[in-house]
Every structure is written in structure tokens, then in C-alpha cells.
Amino acid sequence: MNSEVALLNNYLAVGAVLFGVGLVGFLSRRNMIVMFLSVEIMLQGVSLSLVGWSRFHNGFGGQMFVLFMIAVAACEAAVALALVVALFERRGNLDIAAWHGLREANQPPFREKPLPEEPSDRPQALPRLAPAGARPETPSEDVDYRPEI
């Protein structure tokens, strides 16, 4: 096989795999932001194919396509993340299943199966002391502190 054809073949194959990976993520994940990341992965797969064809046809058309795709992806990210923030403010979480009221009329409602509590990564190994004296005030920084996000 000619080396240029081999290069095109390899780039198209990697683009196809990226598209498939993004498709799996979009269909299966429930976090709206991760769904959106999966769509970006699908876009990357298509961009890779376009650049491969651009090289094979010895023209800049495919690369121009990818440049405009980047511009449109930036617009899309701005609008979609604004929508995500708006949806988050209504429901208080990023779960797409919180919007199952938008399903089709003949579909059953979504019911979450109960999950077992996840074991904490950091075991609480603090010493227990007998309480004595006045109860100290907890600073607000300690109350709001989140060790992980």
C-alpha cells in the first residue's frame, strides 16, 4: 500500500475510534458536562478525518473545515455551558435524568435504583476526647471547606 494511502487509512481509523468512544460516552453518561465532553470527542474524530483527507487531496479545504469547526465548537461550548448553568440553577444538580419530564408521552418515568454508599477514601482516624469547657465557634471557612470536588 502506498504510504500516503496508509497514512489516510490510519487517520481515518483513529478518527472512527474517537467518534465511537464519544458516542458511547454521550449515550451512557448522565452528567451533562461529561455528555458535552463526549460530543467534543466526536467532533475531534471528525476533524482528524478531515485533516487526513486534506493531506491526501493536497489541498487546504479540509484544514479550513477544521478551523471553522473549532470556531463553531467555541460558540457551541459557550451557549451549551450557559444552558448547563441555567439548568443547574433550576434543579440543583447536573443529572440529565432530573429532566426526565421532557420524555415522550408513552415512555415510563425514570426511577433511580438505590446505590450503596461509597466507602470514603480517607478513614476518620481522629482521637476522641471528652468534651470540656465552652463549645468553640467554628469559623465559616471550615464549614464551607470541601476537601475534594
Partner 1 sequence: MMFATQIIPPLAILLGAAGAWLMLPRGAARGRGVGIALMAVALGLGASRLPYLGGWLAESLFLALAAVTVVSAIGAVTFRNPIYCAVWFGQSLLGMAGLYLLIGAQFLAVATIVVYAGAILVMFLFVLMLAQPKGRASYDRVSWEAPLSAVAGALMVGILSMAIGGALGQGGPSNSPGRPLAPPSQAALVQNVLAPQHVVRFGGELFGRYAIAVEVAGVLLLVALVGAAVIVQQSQPTGDDNRHE
Q: Which is nearer to partner 1, 75 or 134 (CB)?
A: 75
For the segment 90-119, give every residue that binds partner 1 (CB under 8 A): 90, 93-97, 112-113, 115-116, 118
- By CB under 8 A, is residue 16 in contact with partner 1? yes
- In degrees and rounded to multiples of 5, residue 119 shows phi and psi of -65, 135
- By CB under 8 A, is residue 33 in contact with partner 1? yes
Q: Given the rule CB under 8 A, which of 15-23, 99-107, 122-130, 131-139 is the region that contacts partner 1?
A: 15-23
What is the rounded distance in angstroms from the CA atom of residue 75 to the CA atom of residue 26?
19
For the segment 48-87, give every residue that binds partner 1 (CB under 8 A): 48, 51-52, 54-60, 63-64, 66-68, 70-79, 81-86
Q: In the bound complex, what is the minimum distance in angstroms from residue 129's beta carbon to partner 1?
A: 27
C-alpha closest to that of 96 among 43, 149, 35: 35
Sequence-separated (6 or more) residues with CB below 8 Å from residue 34: 25
What is the rounded distance in angstroms from the CA atom of residue 38 to the CA atom of residue 16?
14
- By CB under 8 A, is residue 126 in contact with partner 1? no
Cell of 144: 464551607
